[in-house]
Amino acid sequence: MIGIDRIIENALLEDIHTGDITTQAVVPEKRSARAQLIAKESMVLAGIDVAARVFVLVNPEVVFSARFPEGALLSAGDVIADITGDAASLLQAERVALNLLQRMCGIATLTARYKQAVAGTGAKVVDTRKTTPGLRQLEKYAVRIGGGNNHRSGLYDAVLIKENHITAAGGLSVAVERARAFVPHTMKIEVETETLDQVAEALSAGADIIMLDNMDLEMMRRAVTLIAGRSLTEASGGVSLETIAGIAATGVDIISVGALTHSARAMDISMLLGE
């Protein structure tokens, strides 16, 4: 992943800043140590290479040996990795490595639960731009590890005409027309709709993807029937583990879930130094 070192370096600067006072005060210089990363609950492993990179950036002589690959299903008590090196370096890297690893495992684990909830329906579970500022690349990677798919990476790589764009452009059809004239032929155009009339207008305007935003299940079913495969359909808004199966049953192609990244709980992982 490009740019990961910069993310890690910024996190280390935030945490260590002018120095780790506690370690400087109590840990002898040049003391070697060994440590283990331990899962304290069941989870999908995501971000192990990122965690390893944290330790190496703190001290290139640290040896980080992962026991499980990305995407592995872990149980409580599993030793995720063995780490050896300078004790001070291990202590300075610990919190940043755990923060990133716990966050990424949490996203992958939650994504896997959403993916399981729509199994057999054909609907794809995708993320959104509701990510932690500065961590989008890591969080979207974790979604993929959990079995989900990525929506657009940012404002720069896809067209998504939303309610405010429609208002600013002067109408849905004119917004689609302007977008079609502006972007290359290889780029799809998605339009957010809230009513069946808007669905019909987006379809007539030639939208490639029609987002069904905050519709109830009956309206969503009617929209899918109206579209009849002429555009991809994406359900969005109010999606939870309790509602996603019903949404998938309407026949939509894609379900975008902001909760994958904005509401994932960090998994419980700890680092313990050996005697």
Choice among 86, 213, 234, 253 that is catalytic: 213
Question: Which uninterrupted H or E stretch holds 161?
Answer: strand 159-161
Which contacts qualify for 111-115: CB closer than 8 Å, 24 or more apart? 111/44, 111/142, 111/143, 111/145, 111/146, 111/147, 111/148, 111/260, 112/44, 112/146, 112/147, 113/241, 114/148, 114/241, 114/244, 114/257, 114/260, 115/146, 115/147, 115/148
Choice among 34, 95, 113, 180 that is catalytic: 95
Active site residue 140: no
For residues 71 and 46, is the Cβ–Cβ distance under 8 A? yes
- SS3 of 178, please? helix
Active site residue 188: no
Choice among 34, 40, 113, 130 that is catalytic: 130
**Which two structure tokens, joined as six digits, stand for 24?**
């400087």
Give the contacts of 96 (CB within 8 A, at least 6 positions apart).
8, 11, 12, 15, 54
End-to-end CA distance of the chain: 35
Work out the widest C-alpha separation in the chain, in whole angstroms: 72
Choice among 162, 178, 180, 222 that is catalytic: 162
Place of tokens 């945490």: 15
Give the contacts of 263 (CB within 8 A, at least 6 positions apart).
110
Active site residue 130: yes
Instruction: Tell me which residues are annotated as active site.
Output: 95, 130, 162, 192, 213
